[in-house]
């Protein structure tokens, strides 16, 4: 059955690879971009399958209009892909207020707003799959990209909670968390805060590495696109999907360190329970609590 996709940031990088792969499969795409003319070659090749839409994802009026145009054209949205975004490198104190706002507006507020705009239609049809394109930087913090990661950590939390909220409605949510992929994320699309004294051994190391051109990601965006197409056909897709061997290694190392820290400080953690709490997780109240937060 032909699926209807709504993809943001479809003219460049991973979004472009995914749009091309979806069209080649024969599905239909509402392909949004700031400059939809960059999709003219795909319009010429797939005139009946692609519907280019101009969209600034930070403009709520444009978001509503783009979703309504898609519904009017195709009648539904089966797959939403919140892909549009960009990175920024610098020390947390060095960013301008505008740089901070821009990161949060594009990488966090926009996917939340677009998701909220699409959900009424998915809820009525009792089906759909939302792919939030996050990052391994939404799982593991690193020096130099703190504001970008603040947005991606937020997107991961939103997506995880949303997956539980939507499960009874037949709507699936997957937070896709790539490592480095061969797009222009660390190239032309990367922006920088002004370098300031004191961060030579942390932030500047990353900034200089990106600027040098020596950053050679291991990820192939075309392979990632195929994975995402297969993902929406899976009856039990993951809530979090890490992409790339580099990202897997980073997350495994980080989780091991977090678990070791948890165990080390466990006596302090549990020491704050109220004296009347007893063995909370063995009680009926504890069982109900576990159900609310989604584990047994």
Catalytically active residues are 134, 148, 152
Per-residue tokens: 273: 């329970």
CB contact at 8 A, 181 and 133: no
- Closest-CA residue to 33 (of 64, 9, 6, 7): 9
CB contact at 8 A, 88 and 147: yes
- Closest-CA residue to 83 (of 43, 30, 24): 30
**Calpha distance 149→141 (Å, rounded):** 7
> Which residues have CB under 8 Å from 210's CB, separation 6+?
89, 186, 190
> Which residues have CB under 8 Å from 25's CB, separation 6+?
229
CB contact at 8 A, 53 and 9: no
């Amino acid at each position: 059955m032909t699926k209807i996709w709504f993809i943001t940031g479809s003219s460049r990088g991973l979004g472009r690879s995914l749009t091309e792969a979806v069209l080649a499969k024969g599905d239909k795409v509402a392909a949004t971009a700031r400059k939809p003319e960059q999709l003219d070659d795909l319009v010429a090749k797939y005139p009946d399958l692609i519907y280019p839409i101009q969209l600034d994802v930070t403009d709520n009026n444009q978001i509503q209009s783009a979703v309504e145009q898609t519904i009017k054209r195709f009648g539904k949205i089966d797959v939403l892909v919140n892909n549009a975004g960009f990175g920024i490198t610098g020390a947390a104190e060095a960013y301008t207020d505008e740089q901070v706002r821009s990161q949060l507006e594009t990488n966090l507020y926009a996917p939340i707003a677009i998701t909220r705009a699409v959900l009424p239609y998915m809820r009525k049809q009792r089906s759909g799959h939302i792919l939030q394109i996050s990052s391994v930087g939404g799982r593991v913090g690193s020096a130099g990209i703190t504001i970008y990661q603040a947005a991606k950590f937020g997107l991961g939390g939103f997506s995880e909670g949303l997956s539980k909220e939507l499960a009874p409605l037949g709507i699936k949510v997957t937070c896709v968390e790539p490592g480095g992929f061969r797009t222009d994320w660390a190239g032309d699309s990367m922006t920088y805060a002004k370098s300031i004294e004191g961060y030579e051994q942390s932030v500047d190391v990353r900034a200089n590495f990106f600027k040098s051109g020596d950053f050679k990601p291991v990820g192939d965006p075309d392979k990632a696109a195929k994975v995402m197409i297969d993902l929406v056909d899976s009856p039990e897709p993951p809530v979090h999907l890490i992409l790339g061997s580099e990202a897997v290694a980073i997350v495994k190392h980080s989780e091991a360190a977090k678990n070791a820290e948890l165990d080390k400080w466990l006596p302090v953690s549990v020491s704050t329970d109220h004296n009347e709490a007893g063995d909370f997780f063995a009680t009926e109240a504890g069982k109900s609590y576990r159900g609310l937060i989604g584990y047994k």
